[in-house]
């Protein structure tokens, strides 16, 4: 008897090895593992991202999770951390074709059983799965599949009259032994109510057995309720699982969504329930059961006269004890109390020191539709607590928890003593043409590759952030954040590296260049310690931005407008870079390298992300064969391949046709566009560059930032003078 991913029970004697949940965003990998593991006798469920995986762990209670690191939204490391905190007995095997040693160590410390790299052989993954399940059985023999106690203590907190009546009904019903029917929308906690009644009753020390009715057909119905351990001719127990009635004994049986049974099966069940005895297949005698019966169903009909989908006899069977849980939408006054209770519990569980929940956090929750009811509220608060590093939950933590789903709810909350974002945007647009909408992406997206300088397999996940957040890198190994701002520039020798002393992210210029060109102003970039180099260009970064979709957020941001000439370097012959006022963003780059590159130039005028993708993004990183030894001695270019760099000797390009005759000059423009975005805003100015690189780019960024401060001081002095 096994639980399917959609909640149904099936009977299949082949599927006795255990339940496995496969979590991977690649459909072909999910499909392959489903086929292989099913053939091996496992009951397999599938999930495409972290949020779906966490929901299914709660509903399916798998023995083992195969979890890919690079999944959209909540990444694999975060999913692992949350999963192990509420379901510590579930074994987890991390998978990645783009992992690193430090990430594997991090995963192991968080409780992963093992870390395997793709592509993996069939033998290796089956052996690892077998070892993990053996370890689980040895660690917790005969233990419960899922610890439901963590869910129920504060689930029905609140001050509304409906929830007070629910608590009173639970208390009263726990003192009796009659059948109980609990109705309400999905996600309100019907099973939790049944478990809470059982927990408070005199039967609390006896088993609580759940039967998922959603997909029970006649065969699986018999297997779930009447299978029985078969007896051989000598009277000894043979093969087969115990039936639900045998497992419950004098405890309780909970028929989840009993209204999903066909009317024929409802009548068969009613006959057994009213008689108090069942004839089990393989048993010589009937079983007299003493279990208390609980059941759940969907919403009550509008007139309250009956429960949708229930046979008349079953409605009458439960007539003495019925309990309806009101939807959260009709008792929003309960949200603050539920939030405080859940926050306190999760803060204690995860060893956090959260003391307060700010008003914007509560407002956003109360404004949200919360389609998942109390379960969704519970999940959001759990993730928000895990994301919080201080003592207060804020609207930002809701965004992280909801991965952009609640973004509009948070954005439209008016902070204390501040104008609403929409008002400010309208006023600003009316005054100046140098304002533009803030933008993020519409959905989380994933890109995997390899670091050019580290040689390690890596990747990144792009996720939406609310207005005013900026571009933020999130180190997937440590969970620490690193804003993409010029103050965090640490190295520009061969690429642009960001660091705050604890987290270091290398080779960020290509992804920053694409974000600048698509005018993405708010984004969370989950990443390893180096951005993937891909083919040495920014084409793949453009593509994943387009896959996620560019989303305007309503709030506005002011462009940086250059008001005077600013320059760095030697204008007479050495590396040189300057900018001067202009109504557009343009770069004119002059390259003067030894043969075979020689002298070349390119002028780029910004038009759109699509124009950038066509004219600049395809230009690849280039390097000279004579420099390879120096780079290797410095511990760089370990990941350099013929496919991700233009390699040049003393006479020619030796490994690839050029995409443009002046491809090296265009790539220099690509790098400059990326480095300039460490100013945090789009920019208007005419840039001129001669033989410059990352070092000069960073020096000019610093000078532009200083000039902006001077502009602000002058503006303030003028305002005071008036």
- 573 close to 711: Cβ distance less than 8 angstroms: no
Nearest to 114 by CA among 74, 81, 146, 66: 66
- The encoded tokens of residue 251 equal 């405890």
- Got the DSSP string for 416-466? TTS--HHHHHHHHHHH-SSEEEEEEESS-EEEEEE-TTT--EEEEEEEE--
DSSP state of 148: T
464, 522 contact by CB (below 8 A) = yes
E strand or H helix that includes residue 712? helix 694-721
**CA 463 to CA 157: how far, in whole Å?**
33
On whether the CB atoms of residues 116 and 86 are closer than 8 A, the answer is no
Residues 397, 516, 602, 694: which is the catalytic one?
A: 694
Q: How far apart are CA 142 and CA 44, in angstroms?
A: 21
**Maximum Cα–Cα distance across the chain:** 106
Q: Is position 694 annotated as part of the catalytic site?
A: yes
Cβ–Cβ < 8 Å for 373, 198:
no
| Cα–Cα distance for residue pair 159/136, rounded to 1 Å | 42
Q: Please give the Cα distance from 574 to 707 (Å, whole number).
A: 24
Residue 6's alpha-carbon distances to 30, 55, 90, 92, 117, in angstroms, are 16, 11, 19, 21, 29
Say if residues 227 and 1 touch (Cβ distance below 8 Å).
yes
The 3-state DSSP composition of the chain as helix, strand, coil percent (nearest 5) reads: 40, 20, 40
Phi and psi angles of residue 514, each rounded to the nearest 5 degrees, phi first: -65, -40
Give dist(CA 506, CA 708) in Å, integer: 27
Helix (H, G, I), strand (E, B) or coil at 78: helix
Rounded Cα–Cα distance for residues 589 and 174 (Å): 78
Which residues are the active-site residues? 694
């Amino acid at each position: 008897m096994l639980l399917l991913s959609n909640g149904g029970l099936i009977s299949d004697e082949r599927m006795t090895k255990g339940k496995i949940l496969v979590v991977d965003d690649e459909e072909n990998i999910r499909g392959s593992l489903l086929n292989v593991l099913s053939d091996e006798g496992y009951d397999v469920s599938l999930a495409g991202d972290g949020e779906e995986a966490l929901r299914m762990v709660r509903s399916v209670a798998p023995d083992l999770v195969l979890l890919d690191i690079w999944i959209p939204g909540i990444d694999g490391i975060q999913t692992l951390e949350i999963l192990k905190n509420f379901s510590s007995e579930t074994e987890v095997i991390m998978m990645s074709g783009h992992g690193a040693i430090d990430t594997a160590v991090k995963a192991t410390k968080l409780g992963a059983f093992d870390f395997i790299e793709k592509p993996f052989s069939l033998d290796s993954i089956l052996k690892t799965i077998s070892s993990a399940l053996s370890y689980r059985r040895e660690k917790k023999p005969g233990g419960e599949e899922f610890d439901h106690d963590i869910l129920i203590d504060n689930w029905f907190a609140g001050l509304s009259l409906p929830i007070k009546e629910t608590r009173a009904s639970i208390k009263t019903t726990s003192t009796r032994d009659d059948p109980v029917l609990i109705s309400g929308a999905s996600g309100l906690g019907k099973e939790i109510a049944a478990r809470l009644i059982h927990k408070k009753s005199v039967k609390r020390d006896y088993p609580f057995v759940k039967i998922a009715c959603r997909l029970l057909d006649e065969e699986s119905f018999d297997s779930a309720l009447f299978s029985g351990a078969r007896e051989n001719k000598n009277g000894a127990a043979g093969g087969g699982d115990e039936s639900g009635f045998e497992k419950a004994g004098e405890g309780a049986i909970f028929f989840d969504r009993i209204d999903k049974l066909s009317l024929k099966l409802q009548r068969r069940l009613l006959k057994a329930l009213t008689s108090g005895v069942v004839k089990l297949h393989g048993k010589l005698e009937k079983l007299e059961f003493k279990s208390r019966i609980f059941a759940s169903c969907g919403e009550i009909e509008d007139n309250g006269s009956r429960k949708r989908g229930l046979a008349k006899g079953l409605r009458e069977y439960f007539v003495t004890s019925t309990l309806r849980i009101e939807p959260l939408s009709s008792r929003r006054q309960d949200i603050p109390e539920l939030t405080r209770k859940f926050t306190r519990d999760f803060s204690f569980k995860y060893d956090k020191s959260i003391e307060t929940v700010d008003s914007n956090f509560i407002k956003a929750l109360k404004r949200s539709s919360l389609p998942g009811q109390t379960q969704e509220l519970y999940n959001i608060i759990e993730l928000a607590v895990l994301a919080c590093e201080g003592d207060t939950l804020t609207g930002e933590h809701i965004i992280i928890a909801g991965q952009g789903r609640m973004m509009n709810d948070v954005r439209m909350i008016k902070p204390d003593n501040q104008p609403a974002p929409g008002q400010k945007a309208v006023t600003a647009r009316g005054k100046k043409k140098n304002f533009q909408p803030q933008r993020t992406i519409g959905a989380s997206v994933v890109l995997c590759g390899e670091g050019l300088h580290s040689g390690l397999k890596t990747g990144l996940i792009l996720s939406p952030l609310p207005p005013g957040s900026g571009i933020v890198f999130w180190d997937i190994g440590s969970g620490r954040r690193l804003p993409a701002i010029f103050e965090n520039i640490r190295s520009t020798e061969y690429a642009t590296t960001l660091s705050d002393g604890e987290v270091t992210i290398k080779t960020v210029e290509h992804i920053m260049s694409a974000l600048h060109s698509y005018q993405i102003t708010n984004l969370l970039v989950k990443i390893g310690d180096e951005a993937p180099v891909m083919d040495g260009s920014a084409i793949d970064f453009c593509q994943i931005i387009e896959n996620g979709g560019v989303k305007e957020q309503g709030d506005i941001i002011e462009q940086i407008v250059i008001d005077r000439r600013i320059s760095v370097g030697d204008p007479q012959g050495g590396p040189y870079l300057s900018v001067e006022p202009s109504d557009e963003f343009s770069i004119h780059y002059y390259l003067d390298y030894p043969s075979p590159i020689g002298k070349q130039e390119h002028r780029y005028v910004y038009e759109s992300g699509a124009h950038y993708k066509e004219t600049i993004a395809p230009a690849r990183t280039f390097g000279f064969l004579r420099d390879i030894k120096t780079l290797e001695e410095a511990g760089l270019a370990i990941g350099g391949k013929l496919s991700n760099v233009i390699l040049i000797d003393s006479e020619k390009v030796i490994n690839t046709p050029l995409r443009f005759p002046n491809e090296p000059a265009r790539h220099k423009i690509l790098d400059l566009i990326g480095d300039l975005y460490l100013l945090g805003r789009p920019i208007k100015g005419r840039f001129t560059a001669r033989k410059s690189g990352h070092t000069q780019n960073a020096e000019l960024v610093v000078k532009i930032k200083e000039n902006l401060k001077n502009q602000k001081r002058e503006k303030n002095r003028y305002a005071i003078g008036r």
